[in-house]
A and B are shown apart, each in its own frame.
Chain A
Amino acid sequence: MLSANKHALRLARHARNVGHTSSRAASTVVPQETDVVIVGGGPAGLALASALSSQPILRNTLKVSLVEASDLDKVRGWAPPSGTYSNRVSSITNASQAFLGEIGAWAHVEEGRTCSMEEIQVWDGLSDARVTFSMQDVLASHLPGMESLPQMARLTENLNLQRALLRHLDSTSAVELFDKVKVQSIQREEREGGGWPLVHLSDGRVLRARLLVGADGFNSPVRSYAGIQSYGWAYDTTAIVATMFHHPRTSFQTPNTTAYQRFLPTGPIAFLPLSPTASSLVWSTKPHLAKALLSSEPGVLASMINAAFRLPEVSLRYLHNLIVDSANTGSPLDAQQLREEISWRERSHSIDSRSAYSLAADTTGVPPVDADALPPLVTDIQPGSAASFPLRFNHADEYIGDGAGARTVLVGDAAHTIHPLAGQGLNMGLGDVEALFHCIQKAVHTGGDIGSRTALLPYARERYFENHIIMAACDKLHKLYSFTSEPIVWARSVGVEVLNELDSVKAALMLNAGSQSSRRGPSRTQLGASFAADGVESLARTMSGVRTLTEGVGNMVGAGVQSILKGLSNSQRP
């Protein structure tokens, strides 16, 4: 037995020395043996590290390291002045929140800075057809007696979440964090029969990874190493984010717990509540409009946000052009000029100045009847909070590496980048992390090799299709709503209004609106099935907010619209 062992060692030693004279001769660094190397300290990477450190068995079995290029102390020490908010805010679904609670991380979130989202109102910028979702619908129509939070999701600053995950990690100190260190290159160890990934860091260290996790965002170096292709395109769209201040709702109104989203042909604009007097903006629009808005004085952005939720589309188009043109001629429009322009447009549309649709509406006293249909009027933009991000669609062909890229797995934006219209990007990442965490747990439990394809395959199976549905639906929705031709606008309005009537459909939309996902709720598949029976094909299996209205529309108005859409999406695919 001893000699067989010796034999194995000799074979191994030999294998190590075979044929790498050139590449590794220069580096005398001894690779650090690591079970899990997580590249990326964004929400996904930190959540995985946190989950792995939450379990005593995993903590005692696995050596986990996380590598992040930026300075994590900035996240640890994040202490915004009270009343101000970070401009990156995500709606954390109840499923995600439950997972974060189970691993012990949610307890570190500063809840006072988060806001429950109890209702979503979505309407079409052209037809004004409107859908409203709230937990009441679900509770009443589908799950009587279900004891649950009335919240659909919790709006949380990404930094609040990341700081919580870091605090949780610091409290367990089970994960080795390398920050301010970049992954410089990843090589495959040369070894007969399949080498492990060697991760070269910018500080000269080398990590030998049993399992290499790419939580490294859209430009994922791990994805490149694994040789995983991805499929996608840039939308000709930019998202403006900002923190908006406004007056509190009066006691006659519902509190500021409703999210509003209006679909404009240039893209959706969303208003996400953070506190009684602050909300977060995600406005997807054309890049040149975004640029002009961001270079204008802050009062212009505030008025344009108010207008974007209220004015008819023709006037908005007119105002956009005005802002772009005056910026181009070197004499940008100021806030006062814009306000005058807006009130002129309001008069021409005969919008009563006492109506909630008027920017001049009085925000005190008894509010106009239609006030709850619109978000509060923005008074100011938090200084320095306005910023923009290009939007893309991108989906990796595989989530787990194979062959020369073996022992790699992708989570979060490294695997998929999505249009923010349904607020699902981060939730999808957390869903990935939860599934991967369970796979790792299961493999460790039965003595498996967590880097093996066998151990990782259930992760890909569980997540790939689920994410694909959400992504395809968001993409279609984006395209459906950016179309201005008559039949589609008509279909849209009919679709949305019909949907509003279909209680069961709405309830299912709601179930997926983040309140309950397939990860926990029992009902998604059931409802999904009853949908199909109703002929509303797999409607909104998954998304929050508006979800897959398209499919429903397609079924209701016939194949015409769908084929236009199909043509549309095909033509955009490179």
Chain B
Amino acid sequence: MSFLRTARRHLHRNPLRATKCREFPSSSKNASTIADARNGTSSVNPDEIAHFSRLSQLWWDERGEFGLLHKMNPVRMEFVRQKVLEMQREDGFEAVNEARPLEGLDVLDVGCGGGLLCESLTRLGGNTLGIDASGSNIAIASLHAAADPALSSQSPQKRSGTLSYQHTSAEDLLATRGPKSFDVVCSMEVIEHVDNPRTFLSNCAQLVKPGGHLFLSTIARTPLSYFLTIFAAEQALRLVTPGTHTWSKYINPEEMTDFFLQSDSIPATSEDAARQVSSRPWISRLYGGIPSRTEAEVRGMIYLPWKGEWTLVPRGAPGASVWAEACNYVFWVRRPFE
């Protein structure tokens, strides 16, 4: 009986409810506010603040809609932390910074939503930029960060990196900032919502500096994910508006790996062409279907309803790859040095 209850709770708190961007139709009013703000001419009125903070309550209400995303955050961050430290050690760093492994690094979060991941990246020392296609998300994220002295650059006892937000897309950012701009690029729970995942992946990848890291988290296209995210959450239980997810858009870990195995996935820059830097694939080869630990890694994330926590499937755990492919997973890949 209790098993049933647990199972039900699991469905009830389906991870996939916690998706981004869809929840906030950005009204023209907000969009214009952000546009004004970008021109530096914003005059914010209290109505707008109230409006943002109502939305902000959705993003930041840890018991509400996004509760599961809040709970997932430490697990994603743990993975980011582990991989960055691991590679720093691999590169022969004398003293890695355990307290703030991202210190001094330029970090980008694509599809930052309310800023959940950005704040953590900044606390770990990253000079972080969060971008989102929704103007109101950007306002919400900015408003939330402003309450935290550790994140505002004015803080007298600064222990974190810097944090800023921008209302833009990966494509536009690539156009304005140019490729190879960030040491770490993250895009969590976003790719399953974009229309052209190849282009999206390519844009994100181009923004990564040589030797830098790309982190993605998403949902695999498996019978289990269909059952949990579409059949149960949308159709049977109506937890999420039907149509929120499109199963066919889900991407499997092998497809991610394949993308980075091909040398033509990521276009070479004109300078690269001029310098005749060959565009090497990011993953050189597979070993029994699995990339080398220093090139790319896939780790499953599972929600343990009885603990109320997400957990990262341990590397090399029995059946780790089965779990990883089952539903939610994080993917890491490193851009080769030139």
Contacts and interface: CB of A to CB of B under 8 A. Distances in A.
Given A6-B37, A447-B77, A454-B71, A33 B53 contact: no
Contacts of A56: 99
B78 A18 contact: no
A301 B53 CA distance: 65
Interface in A22-64: 33, 35, 56-57, 60-61, 63
A444 B53 CA distance: 26
Interface stretch (A190-198, A281-289, A385-393, A476-484): A190-198
Given A4-B37, A8-B146, A448-B120, A14 B74 contact: no
B41 to A, nearest CB: 9
B164 interface: yes
B52 interface: yes
Contact of A4 (B62, B122, B138, B308): B138
B305 interface: no
Contact of B120 (A3, A446, A461): A446
Contacts of B50: 192
Interface in B44-98: 44, 46, 49-50, 52-53, 56-57, 60, 62-63, 70-71, 73-74, 77-78, 81, 98
Contacts of A63: 157
B39 A12 contact: no
B166 A445 contact: no
B129 interface: yes
Contact of B122 (A5, A442, A447, A458): A447
B188 to A, nearest CB: 13
Contacts of A7: 34, 37-38, 42, 44, 139, 142
Contacts of A453: 62-63, 70
A79 interface: no
A211 B25 CA distance: 33
Contacts of B60: 193-194
Nearest to B173: A1
A12 B143 contact: yes
B49 A458 contact: no
A57 B42 contact: no
Given A192-B50, A442-B74, A9 B164 contact: no
Contacts of B307: 461
A429 to B, nearest CB: 24
Contacts of B62: 452-454
Given A15-B49, A15-B143, A15-B146, A4 B74 contact: no
A191 B70 contact: no
Contacts of A107: none
A457 B147 CA distance: 22
A56 B73 CA distance: 24
A11 interface: yes
Instruction: Bin chain A's interface residue count.
Output: 35 or more
A443 interface: yes
Residue of B39, B70, B78, B153 with most chain A CB atoms under a 10 A cut-off: B70
B40 A3 contact: yes
B147 A191 contact: yes
Interface in A420-450: 442-449
B241 interface: no
A17 to B, nearest CB: 10
B199 interface: no
A10 interface: yes
B218 to A, nearest CB: 20
Nearest to A193: B53
A10 B42 contact: yes
Interface in A454-503: 454-455, 457-458, 461
Given A7-B139, A454-B70, A57 B99 contact: yes
Given A1-B166, A6-B37, A61 B143 contact: no
B155 A446 contact: no
Contacts, number: 144
A33 B149 contact: yes
A192 B40 CA distance: 23
B70 A452 contact: yes
A479 to B, nearest CB: 30
Residue of A60, A61, A63, A446 with most chain B CB atoms under a 10 A cut-off: A446
Contact of A193 (B57, B98, B166): B57
A14 B159 contact: no
A210 B46 CA distance: 25
Given A57-B98, A60-B99, A193-B147, A4 B167 contact: yes
B124 interface: yes
B123 A448 contact: yes
A195 B53 CA distance: 12
A457 B308 contact: yes
A10 B77 CA distance: 29
Given A60-B99, A447-B123, A4 B78 contact: no
Contacts of B250: none
A11 B164 contact: no
Residue of A9, A56, A461 with most chain B CB atoms under a 10 A cut-off: A9
Contact of A196 (B56, B63, B147): B147
Nearest to A450: B123
B152 interface: yes
A11 B98 contact: no
A314 to B, nearest CB: 50
B123 A6 contact: no
Contacts of B53: 15, 192-193
B121 interface: yes
Nearest to B78: A446
Interface of A: 1-12, 14-15, 18, 33, 35, 56-57, 60-61, 63, 191-196, 208, 210, 402, 442-449, 452-455, 457-458, 461
Given A194-B147, A455-B74, 19 more contacts: A4-B37, A5-B164, A6-B37, A11-B143, A12-B143, A15-B143, A15-B147, A33-B149, A192-B49, A193-B143, A194-B60, A210-B150, A444-B123, A446-B81, A446-B120, A448-B73, A449-B119, A452-B62, A458-B309
Interface of B: 34, 37-40, 42, 44, 46, 49-50, 52-53, 56-57, 60, 62-63, 70-71, 73-74, 77-78, 81, 98-99, 119-124, 129, 138-139, 142-150, 152-153, 155, 157, 159, 164-167, 307-309
